[in-house]
Structure formats: C-alpha cells, structure tokens
Amino acid sequence: MSAGATGSAEVTTLAELDDLIGVPMPWIADKARDRLDAIDVEWIAHSPFCLVATSAADGTCDVSPKGDPAGFVRVLDDRTLAIPERPGNRRIDGYRNMITNPHIGILFLVPGRSDTLRVNGRVRVLRDAPYFDDMVVKGHRPLLAAEVTVEEIFYHCAKSFLRSHLWKPEEWRPDALPSRAKIVQALERTSDPLEEVQAYYESPSYNDGLYQQNL
C-alpha cells in the first residue's frame, strides 16, 4: 500500500486550507462555549454512546467507543463530566494517553438524532471518587473514571449522518462483512479454530459478563 497517490496535491498551510474551504459564518465560528447549558445536560442524559479521542505525548492518537445505559456520563457541574470505565480487553489505549497528555475530545451520540454534541477539554484519571457509587450498573462500580474539565462545547450539524444514512435500517448491510468471530480468528486468534472463537462470541456468558473483568 503506497504512502500517497501519484499526482496528489497536498495542502500544507492554513492559508491554503482557508482559500480552499472558505471561512465559516460568524455564528458558526463563535458557537463554542466553555460551560454546559441545561440543553447540553439533557442531551448527555439521553446519550448511551460516545466516542472519546485522546493523544499520547508523542502525538499518536486513539478514538475509543464508550457505551452504557443512557446517562452513563455524569454531569458533576457546568464545567465537569465523568466517564466511567467498564471491563474490556485491558489495552486501555485511551487511558494510557490521558496519563501522558491530558487533552481529550468527546462526541456524544443519541440514537436517531443526526446532530451530535462535541466536548473538548482536559482530563484526569481517577481510581475512585464519591460519585462512583452513582455509576453502578448491574452491581458493578466502574474500574476507573475519566473526569473531564470542559474547555469547549458545541453542537455539530447533521450533514455527515444524513449523507451516510446512518440511522436508516433499510440501508444497513451488516451481513456484507465477515462476522466478529471470523475477523478475530483471521487477524488476532489465528491459531484457534473458528468454531472455538464463534463459541466464545455466541456464548450467553459474553453478554452476561459485560460488567465483569473476565477477559
């Protein structure tokens, strides 16, 4: 796979970028806020899923999905959020980044809504806090939490969701791709039989153990 296409034209300056794209309307350029509004709090309370972007000290990046019952991200005050961490594969790429670089970006989604809420800020990693008791799901407290100080918050328009038809089930083609078990067996657990990998993902314990550290 080549690093770039032959005859490609790279944009290398901010001035060139502005000439190509143009500048936003004033109300768009100035829409970012540094505190949560009541509408933001309501949006976060209805969001069961968000994407968390982090970067290590050397600039390498990660985007991690986080999901739980709607409202799982706690609003502590008009400048502070807390995202619980649940059991996973133990890579914790995002948390490793947070330790070395406290900058964070979050995109909150609400199923069926084509607009999104964007939050940028600074983060610290906590192993415990009084509000951990309010984050219990199915009897399990979070292992960690990312506590975010909001520096910038704004809503993003619906165009990318409309163009992608993301929420239109009639456009979905999940079976066009290999199953999760087939992907894992082909790329990660290459020495394991496919039947064994399928049994793992199809086992009732896979869903039953979502909040247990059993991987």
Q: CA-CA distance, 67 to 191, in Å (whole number)? A: 31
For residues 108 and 137, is the Cβ–Cβ distance under 8 A?
no
pLDDT digits (tens, 9 = 90+) for 135-147: 999 989 998 999 9
Distance CA 96, CA 98 (A): 6
Residue 120, pLDDT score = 98
Q: How many CB atoms lie within 10 A of CB 94?
A: 23
DSSP-derived secondary structure for 15-68: HHHHHHH----HHHHT--BSS--HHHHHHHHT--EEEEEEE-TTS-EEEEEEE-
Cα separation, 182 vs 191, in Å, equals 13
DSSP state of 76: E
Distance, CA of 155 to chain centre: 16
Query: What pLDDT shows up at residue 214?
Result: 57
Looking at residues 100-112, what average pLDDT do you find?
Answer: 98
Q: Which of 162, 160, 145, 57 is nearest to 107 (CA)?
A: 160
Dihedral through CA 172, CA 67, CA 151, CA 26, nearest 10?
A: 20
The predicted-structure confidence for 113-135, as pLDDT tens digits, reads as follows: 999 999 999 999 999 999 999 99
Is residue 1 very low, low, confident or very high in pLDDT (cuts 50, 70, 90)? very low
d(CA 47, CA 72): 8
Helices (H), the chain: 14-21, 26-29, 38-45, 93-100, 159-164, 180-187, 194-202, 204-208
Q: What is the CA radius of gyration of the chain?
A: 20
- pLDDT value at position 5? 66
Overall pTM > 0.85: yes
Please report the pLDDT score of residue 25 as a whole number: 87
* Whether the predicted pLDDT of 207 surpasses 90: no
Flag whether pLDDT at 39 surpasses 80. yes
